[in-house]
Amino acid sequence: MADNVRNEIVNTLADSNASVSLTITIGNAQIGGSIIRRKDTDEIIFKGAVEKLQLGLGSELKGKTLNIKTRVLDVNDQTNGVVVTYFFQSCIPAATMFDDKVINEGDVFTFDVDFNFN
């Protein structure tokens, strides 16, 4: 079983006066989970399946970076495609999607993404 890694950086504009929440969706009938850390302190904010995770006010996130590692296990024998979508409420862009593929059936793919909040 191979582990593939894709590193990305996304600049995100947060609404200063609004509460920001995050939902992460893994597509193509694959399975996986995420770990979310503050980049400056390496503090773990959350681990597992992410749905409507409250991150705080946009003003509290400005100037900060969240590192999100999402690991996807290829369990769908119909495709080796892996898709992850990050939905941030009260941010622009509201959704960021990454689409890639594993080489072999059963491989693991890691999306290692830094979200910079402006």
pLDDT digits (tens, 9 = 90+) for 66-114: 999 999 999 999 999 999 999 999 999 999 999 999 999 999 999 999 9
- Residue range(s) defining the domain that contains residue 88: 3-117
pLDDT digits (tens, 9 = 90+) for 9-29: 999 999 999 999 999 999 999
Instruction: At 11, list the tokens.
Output: 């600049």
Task: State how far the Cα of 80 lies from the Cα of 12, in Å rounded to an integer.
Answer: 29
Number of domains observed in the structure of the chain: 1
Task: State how far the Cα of 96 lies from the Cα of 88, in Å rounded to an integer.
Answer: 9
Q: Is the pTM of this model over 0.85?
A: yes
